Structure 1
Amino acid sequence: MKAKGLLVAVVLLAALGGAVYWSNKQQKEEAAKPPADAPPKILTLNEGDVTAVDIKRREGETTALKRGGSNNWSITAPQAFDTDRDAINQLLTALTSLSSEKVIEEKPADLAGFGLKTPAVQIVLSLKNGKTRTVSLGDEAPVGGATFTQVDGDARVFTISSTTRATIDKLAVDFRDKRLLKLDVTTLARLQLTLKGTTLEFSKNGRNEWAIVSPKPMRADGFEVDELARKLTDAKLDPLTTSDQKADLAKQFAASTPVATVTITDAAAAQKLEVRKNKENKFYARSSVVEGFHLISDEIGKALEKTPEDFRNKKLFSFGFTDPSRIDYKDAARQLNVSKAGDRWVANNKTMDSVGVQSLIDRLRDLSATKFPDSGFSTSEIEIGVTSQDGKVIEKVSISKAGDHYIARREGEPSLYELEAKSVTDLQKAASDVKEQPPAKGAGK
């Protein structure tokens, strides 16, 4: 009896398990199905299989796009141009997964009523296998702004939304690469900037930081250089310029005053941009990689209306927003040597008040040049050493008095930094205020 009961229990458990399995399987299959009211797909293709796209208009130009080597696309008609990669990607994504709003007719008797007998636009996709797929765009629907659409091999007439049409119904100008400098900002390696009669050459150092290498080695303001490079790579041409406008731009450039010349080198090649400004304060540019002369934005022009000093690092110390691990300070009134031990600051085996040390760090971080004099450093009155980045970087600075201000010098560098007197007196006060941490309340009782 026991064996029989055990056998029945096993059979029931197996049946229950099977029921649960099939129930879960059915639920997954149902979940994978599109909702009953989901708009039907018009076209589903693999983006990688598309080798060319031709946008043919009943009236107007035909735009021809072709995929080349290294997955690069180009415009081949109505004229040959490089393409905007993002614009191409948006087009391909929309076309290869094209959805409708709804089916209007399953088997239309006459396509003329939908504007599809002679479509306003036909988009032909060429595929790797030699076949093509054609999407035809007809008239707008009477209500809602949708467009009647049909795909070859499918008798049905669909509508697509105005947003979808705007994504796929484009002209060659919409796909054109409009950049005046065709650079990859992430791989910039060198930048040469000529302004105010001086040429500065910037290069990336071993820590991937910008440094000035010419006319002499100097520290660069990395943020300013990166911002300039970003703005330059954002400079765009106007693709709708007429021939008369092009001639006027050439005259304006020739008559304008030079502002700056920039040569930028990325992993591929060097490219140059010359910028000038006319009497009406409009900026014009000529690029080494794009034909003609171009009006550019005030933002880009003003980014170049600077002095060489604007691109130099004015901060005396470069530890930035990360706190150092050791500070050595010496002036006529105080010698201080503090180092980090875990979460404590220690000097002579004594725990120092962290608030006072942090105040000193802040004053060191704030030390910034008001100008870069060629001379003026005399006898050092303050000596400072700052260790940061886990001991990898040690910066040593000497500061001397020079009339109503101070002159600082970093060890191993020829540059001098003029400092305001207040910033130095604030530093001296912060150093004198660093004290031993007071005992905790109740300690020793």
Structure 2
Amino acid sequence: MRARTTVILAILFAALAAFYYVYEVRLGPDRERAEAERHRLFALEAKDVEELLLRRGGEMIRLRREGEEWRLIEPVRARTEPGVVEGIVSSLASARIEREVEANPTSVAEFGLDPPAVEITLRAKGEERGLRLGAKSPTGVWVYAQERGRPAVFLLSDFILRDARKTPEELRDKTVLAFEVQDVTALEIRTRGRVLRAEERAGEGWRLARPLEVRADQGRIREFLDTLKAARIKAFVEEAPAAVARYGLAEPLRVTLWLGRETARTAKTLLLGRADQARGGIYAQREGEPAVFLVGEELPGAVPLTVTALRDKTVVDYDRGKLGKVAIESPKGRVVLVKEGPGWRLTEPLAAEADDRAVSDLLSALGDLRAKEFLAEAPRGLARYGLDRPEVRVSLWEQEAEAPVRLLLAPARDRKGMAYAAVAGRGPITLVEAEALRVLARSPHDLRDRSLFGTLDPRAVRSIRLTLGETRVVLERRGEEEWRMLEPRRARARASRVNDLLWTLQGLRWRATAEGEPARLGLEPPRLAVSLLGSDGQELGALHVGRVEEGEAYVQVPGRSELYVVETKALGDLPEGPDDLAP
């Protein structure tokens, strides 16, 4: 009996599973599509709609698809805002009837349909479909509607009404000038008696072509083109004015872009007129189009109107990747740096490792130096600017270059806060901020590597030997995280305390060199001696710490003759004995 029951239940379960599969999985999507189609207002696809008419009282808006775009035909001919009309058409094509309110109403006035708020006509594949929209329902989320030629009143989403009430201005394309930045190959800015022209040349980037031939400011041109591309029309003022002088467009500021090259080249010109303070904008036109519109006041302000605004203001141009040698002559003396492998080394006035970060900051300051004004194009008459005897001279040798590039800097006595600058033998002579005199004048002390443990990696240290007065402490790493004390007694060491010590030493920098005998500075014998060993027993670094006074400590690296001063806060909490390292 039990086996028979099990078989029956299994058969019932299989039948239910088969029913579920057929009804829900196989037939479910078709059923859902059929249900959706049953409630659709129009049986058409958005891509098939060729024309859209919106009537609101005495106003009519006609929109027509032309290729892949929609154009406004009435009340004016104009481009439409990308995606806006397509969105309206898609909403209408996919609109669903929420509920039929009345099949054969005796009067439609109570639904706001006599007269209607909006009448919509769609033309697709040679056929017309019409829709009348009335008042909103009491809930405010639906609108009463009626299909042309049918009596029934039904409810639609009020989004349909919202879209159908868009004004011609809301539907119009508000792009000031339509172009792609990467297609621009030339730029011309023309004002009364002045023409600025820049050209994008293969392999050279942007260059000024008028009124002089110099490299252009790549970033400034790109910034302006981005601003122009993003500019939006604030308001449409007049479609076809009889005269444009009242808008300041009889003698406008002309901005012309050339797109493409050779036979495929086209031009687009924007005309900018006078400002209207009351309306908070500038009157403008597109050349070849009669309509006058208003743009934001920030757009004319973004137009570069002078050679200085448009030209490259880099004072000294060099290839940092090819740099092999740098010499600086300043009131701080002469300093020479030479590239060795990935880093830098001082060779004059002393031989020492250079601080890569300090050298990088120096080179960045050189590369970031920008002209505020251009005083002369040719490098003649240097004495007039004090550049025949510069306060700061920076010489840069690039690999395989025949001669160095020499930057000359002198204070501008007659211009507060400014300095004169020029590249010897090249020009131009420029005005820069006087801060450059301070930033580029570097002493050996400024550029030396001040690390006391070089490129120490604390994780590579396997053993530490400390001498604290008469006490010797030996620590040994076990695995990656554990430390053991071997002397003066065998015990576990506090790993966090030991690791803090290693990272403190790794980041330790000296502040200044010290004068005096090691014994007088507490370094013979030292208060603390530290030796760090690697896995092969080789010493990775060592340090002696001497007298501590007034926030400073004297230290020495064994094997070096120099003595150094470090800040005690940089030393951190040094161990006073074995107990400081115990758990």
TM-score tier by shorter-chain length is 0.7 to 0.9
Structure whose CA Rg is larger? 2
| Structure 1 equivalent of residue 116 of structure 2 | 119
TM-score, length basis structure 1: 0.73
Match of 2:216 among 199, 216, 220: 220
**What is the CA distance between 1:140 and its match in structure 2?**
3.0
Length, aligned pairs only: 411
Q: Does 2:178 correspond to 1:165?
A: no
**CA 1:220–1:28 in structure 2 vs 1: closer, same or farther (change >3 Å)?**
farther
Q: Within the alignment, does 1:136 sit opposite 2:132 as a pair?
A: yes
Secondary structure of the corresponding residue to residue 331 of structure 1: strand
Change (3 A) 1:237 1:185: farther
**Contact 1:182-1:289 within 8 A present in 2 as well:** no
Say if 2:304 and 2:310, in contact at 8 Å, map to a contact too: no
Structure 1 position 103 matched with structure 2 position 102: no
Distance 1:370 1:240 in 2: 39
Displacement of 1:336 in angstroms is 1.9
Change (3 A) 1:154 1:384: farther
Deviation at 1:191, TM superposition (A): 1.0
CA distance in 2, matches of 1:329, 1:197: 45
2:269 paired with 1:272:
yes
Check whether the contact 1:360–1:431 (CA below 8 A) recurs between aligned residues.
no
Q: 2:73 aligns with which of 69, 73, 76?
A: 76
TM-aligned CA distance change 1:331 to 1:162, over 3 Å: same
Pairwise CA distance, 1:361: 3.6
- What does residue 427 of structure 1 align with? 440
Pick aligned residue for 2:374 from 368, 372, 376: 372
* Cα deviation code 1:365-397 (max 9, x no counterpart): 43121211215555683223679xxxxxxxx85
Distance 1:76 1:61 in 2: 13
Does the CA contact (< 8 Å) of 2:196 and 2:210 recur in 1?
A: yes
- Give me the whole-angstrom Cα distance separating, in 2, the residues matched to 1:25 and 1:361: 74
Q: CA deviation at 1:261?
A: 2.3
Give the secondary-structure state (helix, strand or coil) at the position aligned to 2:359: helix
Q: 1:253-278 CA distances to partner (integer Å, 9 max, x unpaired)? A: 268xx673211223462122333447
The answer to whether the 8 Å contact 2:101/2:154 transfers is: yes
Letter in 1 for 2:267: A
Report if the CA contact (8 A) 1:325-1:340 is conserved: no
Amino acid at match of 1:260: L
Q: CA deviation at 1:415?
A: 4.1
Residue-by-residue CA offset, 1:104-153 (whole Å, 9 max, x unaligned): 426243461424465342222222x3333333212333452642123458
The answer on 1:356 being equivalent to 2:358 is yes
In the alignment, is the contact (CA less than 8 A) between 1:193 and 1:200 conserved in 2?
yes
Is the CA contact (8 Å cut-off) linking 1:408 and 1:419 kept in structure 2? no
What does 1:81-92 align with in structure 2 at a 5 Å threshold? 81-92=78-89
2: distance between equivalents of 1:431 and 1:315? 27
The structure 1 residue matched to 2:254, chosen from 251, 254, 261, is: 261
C-alpha distance in 1 between matches for 2:429 and 2:18: 79
> 2:299: which partner in 1?
300
Amino acid across the alignment from 1:77: E
Q: Check conservation: 1:139, 1:147, Cα contact below 8 A.
A: yes
Counterpart residue type for residue 423 of structure 2: R
Name stretches of at least 5 consecutive residues in structure 1 with no aligned partner. 1-7, 388-395
For residue 52 of structure 1, report the CA deviation from its aligned partner: 1.6
* Partner AA of 2:58 in structure 1: G
Name which of structure 1's ranges 433-442 and 89-98 shifts more when overlaid on structure 2: 433-442
SS at match of 2:233: coil
Return the match for 2:59 from 58, 61, 82: 61
Tell me the secondary structure at the aligned position of residue 83 of structure 2. Answer: helix
CA displacement, residues 403-443 of structure 1 (integer Å, 9 cap, x when unaligned): 532323399x7644433343143123288633346533532
Q: In the TM superposition, what is the alpha-carbon distance from 1:291 to its structure 2 partner?
A: 0.6
Distance 1:223 1:26, change over 3 A: same
Q: Confirm or deny: 8 A CA contact 2:70 2:86 kept in the other structure.
A: no
The corresponding residue for 2:246 is: 251
- CA change 1:181–1:319 in 2 (3 A) is farther
- Indicate the SS of the match to 2:339: strand
Contact 2:237 2:294 in 1 (8 A): no
CA contact (8 A) 2:237 2:293 kept: no
> What is the Cα deviation at residue 222 of structure 1?
3.3
TM-score by length of 2: 0.58
* Aligned counterparts, 1:179-218, within 5 A: 179-195=175-191, 197-206=193-202, 209-218=205-214
The question of whether the paired residues in 1 share the 8 Å contact of 2:189 and 2:305 is answered with no
Measured in 1, the distance between the counterparts of 2:70 and 2:226 equals 24
Q: Secondary structure at the match of 2:312?
A: coil
Q: Which amino acid aligns with 1:78?
A: P
Are 1:400 and 2:414 matched, yes or no?
A: no
- Of residues 206-215 and 347-356 in structure 1, the stretch that sits farther from structure 2 once superposed is 347-356
Q: CA deviation at 1:27?
A: 6.7
Map Cα deviations across residues 175-205 of structure 1 (whole Å, 9 max, x no partner): 2334453434453222101357532212234
In the alignment, the residues of structure 1 paired with residue 200 and residue 90 of structure 2 have an alpha-carbon distance, to the nearest angstrom, of: 37
| Structure ranking higher on relative contact order (CA contacts 8 Å, 6+ apart) | 1
1:5 aligned partner: none
Give the whole-Å Cα distance in 2 for the aligned partners of 1:75 and 1:19: 56
Distance 1:278 1:84, change over 3 A: closer
Deviates more, 1:23-32 or 1:215-224: 23-32
Give the conservation status (yes or no) of the 8 Å contact 1:66–1:74.
yes
Q: How does 1:377-388 map to 2 (within 5 A)?
A: 377=382, 381-384=393-396
Q: 1:17 to 1:76 in 2, by over 3 A?
A: same
Tell which deviates more after alignment, 430-439 or 180-189: 430-439
Aligned to 1:136, the other structure's residue is in SS state strand
Q: Tell me: CA distance 1:143–1:339, structure 2 relative to 1, closer, same or farther (3 Å).
A: farther
Q: CA separation of 1:196/1:252 partners in 2, compared to 1, >3 Å: closer, same or farther?
A: closer
Asked if the contact 2:344–2:359 (Cα under 8 Å) also holds between the matched residues in 1, the reply is: no
Equivalent position of 1:390 in the other structure: none
Query: Which whole-Å CA distance do the structure 2 matches of 1:142 and 1:362 have between them?
Result: 68
User: Could you say which residue in structure 2 is the equivalent of 1:26?
Assistant: 24
Between the aligned partners of 1:328 and 1:217, the Cα distance in structure 2 is 31
- Pair 357,45 (structure 1): closer, same or farther in 2 beyond 3 Å: farther
Superposed CA offset, 1:7-33 (max 9, x none): x99xx8xx9899499569937976995
Give the aligned partner of residue 288 of structure 2: 289
Which residue identity does 1:266 align to in structure 2?
Answer: L
Alpha-carbon distance in 1 for matches of 2:397, 2:26: 66
Provide the C-alpha distance between the structure 2 equivalents of 1:21 and 1:423, rounded to a whole number of angstroms: 84
Q: Give the gaps of 5 or more residues in structure 2.
A: 1-5, 413-418, 457-504, 506-531, 533-539, 543-583
Quote the sequence identity (%): 20
**Amino acid of the structure 2 residue aligned with 1:382:** V
Instruction: Give the counterpart letter for 1:61 in structure 2.
Output: E
